[in-house]
Amino acid sequence: MLAKIHITLKKDVLDPQGKVIANSLTDLGFGGIQSVRQGKYIEIILDGDDKNAATVKLNKMCEKLLANLVIEDYSVEIN
Amino acid sequence: MKSHVIVFPGSNCDRDVAVAIEKISGSAPEMIWHKNTSIEHSDLIIVPGGFSYGDYLRCGAIASTSPIMHEVVQKAKAGVPVIGICNGFQILIETSLLDGALIRNNSLSFICRDIHIKAENSTSIFTKNNIIAKMPIAHNEGNYFASTETLKKIKDHDQIAFRYCDEHGVVNEQANPNGSMENIAGILNDTKNVLGLMPHPERAIEINLGGDDGKHIFESVLN
Amino acid sequence: MTSTWIHKTEQSLVESHGLKHDEFDNIVKGLGREPNLTELGIFSAMWNEHCSYKSSKFWLKKLPTTGERVVQGPGENAGVIDIDDGDVAVFKMESHNHPSYIEPYQGAATGVGGILRDIFTMGARPVANLNALRFGEPSHPKTKHLLAGVVEGIGGYGNCIGIPTVGGEVNFHPSYNGNILVNAMTVGIAKKDKIFYSAAAGIGNPVVYVGSKTGRDGIHGATMASAEFDDDSEDKKPTVQVGDPFTEKLLLEACLELMKEEAIIAIQDMGAAGLTSSSIEMASKGNVGLEIDLTKVPMRASNMTAYELMLSESQERMLMVIDPAKEDMARKIFKKWDLEFEVIGRVTDTKNLVLNMHGKEEACIPINILVEDAPEYQRDYTISEPTKDYTIDPNSLNAETIVDDLIKMISHPNLCSRRWIWEQYDHMVMADTIVRPGSDAAVVRVHGTNKAIAMSTDCSPTYCKHNSFEGGKHAVVETWRNLIASGALPIAITDCMNFGNPEKPEIMGQFVECIRGMTEACSALNYPVVSGNVSLYNETNGEGIYPTPAIGGVGLIKNIEKTKTIAFKKIDSAIYLIGKTEGHLGNSHFLSIVQNQEIGSTPIINLDEELKNGKFILELVNKDLILSSHDVGEGGLLVAATEMSMSSGIGVSINTERKNHAYYFGEDQGRYLVEVDAADEQKFKQVAEDHKITIELIGRTIDAYLMIQDIGKVSVKDLKSESEKWFPNFTR
């Protein structure tokens, strides 16, 4: 099973990188950018095919290690 | 002797390199803001170290899209000597003036300390004073990486400017501070007028600062 | 006004704002009515311990704060001292303890960002960062994560903005298990006639907001939990502030560029309590009023309320009052640096802080109620008896173990090499670092001159715990000695007073005694306090931290050629110990590290002796009679000698009359080790005799080995590898 994890800064947390990327894209002539938020994307390949058990496990991974819950949110998707 | 130092938002070694050039050549370089689009006659262009655009997205990536970099690339292609130091090296790589990539140090942490480098190429204007030099590094992403083909190409064309070595000039694993492939500390373009290096020669220009070996790199171009 | 009025019966709301009932009554009395929610938030922010110094003010006033070189003492963003030739050094240390425990990287990073702003707000270019860090015991499950995060955060911010982090101190003790201390110090250089202050002036002048946009960062936790703010669920939860060193670098350059013009009338950074404290500070100092239109504040989040805008702690922001004729020029500079620049209000003659939003008045508070009526307490205190001395049976210690004990000490987390930490900090950027980390004091040249400033941070919490008076003295004196040993004339200090809950009489007693000790030392050494910060309520589960008055000292080296480091310079020099040695093992590193016991009395400092020995060292420096010098502090004589060897690779052969643990590891005060060229020995002895200084020849430098006559020897290389392995192994 392939698990896809997206980690992003929480909505109201300042994202300095996103701000700079947005400015730079605008300078390069890409108009109409409202905002840019940068995050992390992680792929994990798991044994077995129990999606429910995997979701529980992946959530734990995010909470224990992958995401910094003080400032970040995460989402888990399993294919 | 007319030299130019490019200043980006977040450059922080621009003053240091200007002080070094003035001390060595006797004339102060002109500071060029990144939004400028042209440089008149230049004998040396320096892209200094720092954290241009906070190193956000990828070190050097955003600075490489600045208006002035288009002009720097043109000047480099016309043969003007260009040095990129630390973040400047990363920027020159992002503009494709130099080959390869600079990835995170293998220690996964920022490293600031003195290291030794040894010139490999002995013909370029930057490396003809073939020396073993002590100078500081201060970076998070200085781990030089190139594909097998690229590495072969830069070796075949004598484009390796400097390798990390010990104080006696021996190139070995212990002397490699950041995991760079084959201890590469600096490289040249194939016409040898563009140099990128991770160590900071501008911080090693007087004994009071811990050493003056860095002078050699500037002296060979400036004199 | 249309906002919700706070009725006295809504006690929980008042309490969740950290206000006591009598404090709330004073607000009602002062306003002549009950405050609305925005006003309550403003009072809460201004009257909390951090902003009002309500528990500490009475005692802080006792510290000496003046001197011939003091240009600005406590009360502004930072202290200012004269360093000759029209130059001044501007410096301060500040705590960021709690945020660093919650999120170590961002907490430490924004701590550095905040103190940097305090310095460049005053017109100074920051030239050096230092810090003082305390962590719990290494075996505590959180320590490794906190240490790694804090160090990375300090480096991440300082390296990016391009200000060298040149010095600091760190120690580990169980009393910090649930409450680490992250104290950051910045030193800047300015011209004496170009210092900027915060007093607003000129009725009608524009109040300008510059820097980053305002988001919902770090808004007071308890209040955000109240129902009125909870309509937008998770996302509105109070968040840790994220530092943006890149924006701060732009803000630094833009401010310094504008400061070259005669445009700024007053300037104040938005630190703790953001727009609230900065606007009130400016109005209060200038004895004027301010009227602000909150709709004009650049916002990062949508639908922000007046309450949120006033209490947000978003980073990298400043408030200025400028000359209206220079507004366009100023705007141009900030736009060049891609920063927000917005006129958000005017200076008024009402002496009120008036806040409007969408055409409605959201708050109207007389400034004097906020500032002059702020609570001030003389809290009860009880002074604990200093811990009694403990006599060690000399027969219980076998001199044969001295070399092994030395190795245990120099490889212990509290005494080992800090290289792993400072190699993660760019300590050389700006190309003026004359003495790098690892010596007694860091030395940074004043750019373009031949003079330098020396800086050191220090505190010994176990000394303070077991004798708060002597511990307070010690923290001050230790920095003074570090500056002296570097060849600098000590000038002044900044303090960062970290203590537990001041409502407990024994904690308040520690504070009172530390202040008394600091006062005595500062007065005796002519070494005043010019700035500082107080951090109270550092407690977990009712257990307070050890009293930790961290001190940052700054001194002047008039000629960099005279700078001294701890590194031995050559073989065959004579090594002299300056000062008297009784062999005080109480409360020492030997006992805590080798014997694993925290017992015995804190060593006593004789300030007359201290001053005499310090002046003697400076005379030796001036007469070029010493090659290197090192203060003998934590760990005692043998640890000091070992550090001088490890720093240079040059060994030392020690041959002394007394050869016991108390002599080698005792922590008697007022002592230094100096290296004297064999050719200068007679002259050196003469100067010592002239000043009636106690000196003792302890040995000579040799090649590559530390040898202790009749006891044993070990190679400097081995010592170094023992000393350098702890941090990398621990954090692996």
pLDDT in tens, C63-90: 999 999 999 999 999 999 999 999 999 9
Nearest CB neighbour to B54, from listed C246, C425, C429 = C246
**Nearest residue in A to B59, CA atom:** A17
Given C17, C96, C412, C630, the catalytic residue: C96
What residue has token string 């719990």?
A: C136
* Cα four-point dihedral sign B19, B25, B28, B31: negative
Which has the minimum average pLDDT: A36-40, C293-297, C614-618? A36-40
Question: Per residue in C511-548, pLDDT tens?
Answer: 999 999 999 999 999 999 999 999 999 998 888 999 99
- State mean pLDDT over C344-362: 96
Helix axes C327-336, C245-259, angle to 10 degrees: 150
- The residues spanned by each domain of chain A are 2-78
- The answer to whether C367 touches C280, Cβ cutoff 8 Å, is yes
CA distance, residue C454 to nearest chain B CA (Å): 15
Q: B59 vs B53, B88, B196, C1, C157, CA distance in Å?
A: 8, 9, 14, 51, 15
DSSP H helix total and E strand total for chain A:
2, 3
Closest CA to B59 of B158, B145, B149, B174: B145
B36 touches C at CB < 8 Å: no
- Two tokens at B132? 């073993």
- State mean pLDDT over B150-171: 96
Which secondary structure element, helix H or strand E, spans residue C88, and what is its range?
A: strand C87-95
- State mean pLDDT over C118-131: 97
Kindly report the pTM of this predicted structure: 0.94
Distance, CA of C127 to CA of C430 (rounded, Å): 8
CA distance, residue C317 to nearest chain A CA (Å): 13
- The answer to whether C613 touches C397, Cβ cutoff 8 Å, is no
Q: Answer yes or no: is pLDDT of B101 > 70.
A: yes
Distance, CA of C293 to CA of C206 (rounded, Å): 12
Closest CA to C52 of C307, C395, C377: C377
Count chain B–chain C contacts defined by CB atoms under 8 A.
Answer: 85
User: Across chain B, what does the average pLDDT equal?
Assistant: 95
Q: Do A28 and B62 touch (CB under 8 A)?
A: no
The helix/strand/coil state of B140 is coil
What residue has token string 């792929």?
A: A43
- Which residues of chain C make contact with A37, given a CB cutoff of 8 A? none
Between B40 and C523, where is the model more confident? C523
Helix axes C468-485, C607-622, angle to 10 degrees: 10
- The answer to whether C383 touches C324, Cβ cutoff 8 Å, is no
**Nearest residue in B to C429, CA atom:** B13
Given C17, C50, C412, C630, the catalytic residue: C50
Percent of chain C whose predicted confidence (pLDDT) is above 70: 96
Strands (E), B48-110: 82-85, 101-103
Q: Do C249 and B138 touch (CB under 8 A)?
A: no
Q: Do A16 and B65 touch (CB under 8 A)?
A: no
C630 has catalytic annotation? no
- Two tokens at C174? 């169980």
Contacts of C592 (CB under 8 A, 6+ apart): C414, C462, C598
Q: Answer yes or no: is pLDDT of C9 > 80.
A: no
Give the burial string for B78-105 (b: 16+ CB within 10 Å, else e).
eebbbbbbbbbbbbbbbbebbbbbbbbb
Nearest CB neighbour to A14, from listed C103, C215, C338 = C215
Q: Distance from CA of residue B85 to its chain's centroid?
A: 3
CA distance, residue C30 to nearest chain B CA (Å): 47
Classify residue C689 by burial, with Cβ atoms within 10 Å: 0-12, 13-18, 19+.
exposed
Nearest CB neighbour to B62, from listed A16, A20, A38 = A20
Closest CA to C511 of C381, C606, C374: C381
Question: Per residue in B48-90, pLDDT tens?
Answer: 999 999 999 889 999 999 999 999 999 999 999 999 999 999 9
Q: Do C249 and B110 touch (CB under 8 A)?
A: no
Q: Do C300 and A14 touch (CB under 8 A)?
A: yes
pLDDT of residue C393: 77
- Which residues of chain C make contact with A12, given a CB cutoff of 8 A? 215-217, 235-236, 239, 300-301
> What is the β-pairing status of strands C352-357 and C289-293?
parallel
- State mean pLDDT over A11-16: 83
Q: Do A17 and B65 touch (CB under 8 A)?
A: no
Q: In the structure, what pLDDT confidence band is assigned to residue B162 with cuts at 50, 70 and 90?
A: very high
CA distance, residue B54 to nearest chain A CA (Å): 8
- State mean pLDDT over C575-590: 96
**Nearest residue in C to A68, CA atom:** C103
- Which residues of chain A make contact with B53, given a CB cutoff of 8 A? 20, 24
**Nearest residue in B to A15, CA atom:** B56
Count chain A–chain C contacts defined by CB atoms under 8 A.
Answer: 48
Q: Do B13 and C426 touch (CB under 8 A)?
A: no
Given B4, B34, B200, B216, the catalytic residue: B200
CA distance, residue B120 to nearest chain A CA (Å): 37
- Two tokens at C521? 């030392």
Q: In the structure, what pLDDT confidence band is assigned to residue C5 with cuts at 50, 70 and 90?
A: low
Q: Answer yes or no: is pLDDT of C498 > 70.
A: yes
B202 has catalytic annotation? yes
Q: Answer yes or no: is pLDDT of C224 > 70.
A: no
- Which residues of chain C make contact with B140, given a CB cutoff of 8 A? 159
Q: Do C249 and B9 touch (CB under 8 A)?
A: yes
Q: Best mutation site among B53, B58, B91 for testing chain A: the one with the most A CBs within 10 Å?
A: B53
B14 touches C at CB < 8 Å: no
- Which residues of chain A make contact with B52, given a CB cutoff of 8 A? none
- The terminus-to-terminus CA distance of chain A in angstroms comes to 6
- Which residues of chain B make contact with C427, given a CB cutoff of 8 A? 112
- The answer to whether C482 touches C634, Cβ cutoff 8 Å, is no
CB atoms within 10 A of CB C393: 6
What residue has token string 């300037």?
A: C267
Q: Answer yes or no: is pLDDT of C8 > 60.
A: no
Nearest CB neighbour to B65, from listed A16, A17, A24 = A24
Distance, CA of A66 to CA of A46 (rounded, Å): 16
- Which residues of chain B make contact with A20, given a CB cutoff of 8 A? 53-54, 56-57, 62
Distance, CA of B87 to CA of A70 (rounded, Å): 31
CA distance, residue B109 to nearest chain A CA (Å): 19
Other chains touching A, judged by 3 or more CB pairs under 8 Å? B, C
**In this prediction, does ipTM exceed 0.90?**
yes
CATH architecture of B3-222: 3-Layer(aba) Sandwich (3.40)
Q: In the structure, what pLDDT confidence band is assigned to residue C230 with cuts at 50, 70 and 90?
A: very low
Closest CA to C320 of C354, C352, C286: C286
Compute φ and ψ for C518, nearest 5 degrees.
Answer: -60, -45
Q: Do B16 and C436 touch (CB under 8 A)?
A: no
**Nearest residue in C to B53, CA atom:** C246
Between B1 and C35, where is the model more confident? C35
- The answer to whether B24 touches B65, Cβ cutoff 8 Å, is no
Q: Do C162 and B113 touch (CB under 8 A)?
A: no
- Which residues of chain A make contact with C217, given a CB cutoff of 8 A? 12-14
> What is the β-pairing status of strands C628-631 and B184-188?
unpaired
pLDDT of residue A79: 83
- Two tokens at C37? 């929610």
Nearest CB neighbour to C434, from listed B19, B110, B208 = B208
Q: Do A71 and C217 touch (CB under 8 A)?
A: no
- Which residues of chain A make contact with C229, given a CB cutoff of 8 A? none
Q: Do B138 and C245 touch (CB under 8 A)?
A: no
Q: Determine the CATH number of domain A2-78.
A: 3.30.1280.10
Given B86, B120, B165, B216, the catalytic residue: B86
Cα R_g (chain B), whole angstroms: 16
Count chain A–chain B contacts defined by CB atoms under 8 A.
Answer: 21
Q: C552 vs C166, C186, C492, C494, C707, CA distance in Å?
A: 13, 10, 9, 5, 35
For the residues of C349-418, what is the DSSP string, one character each? SS-EEEEEETTEEEEEEEHHHHHTTS--------PPPPPPP----GGGS-GGGHHHHHHHHHTSTTTS--
Q: Answer yes or no: is pLDDT of C509 > 60.
A: yes
Q: Do C314 and A14 touch (CB under 8 A)?
A: yes
Nearest CB neighbour to A11, from listed C235, C243, C247 = C235
Q: Do B112 and C338 touch (CB under 8 A)?
A: no
pLDDT of residue A65: 83
**Nearest residue in A to B63, CA atom:** A24
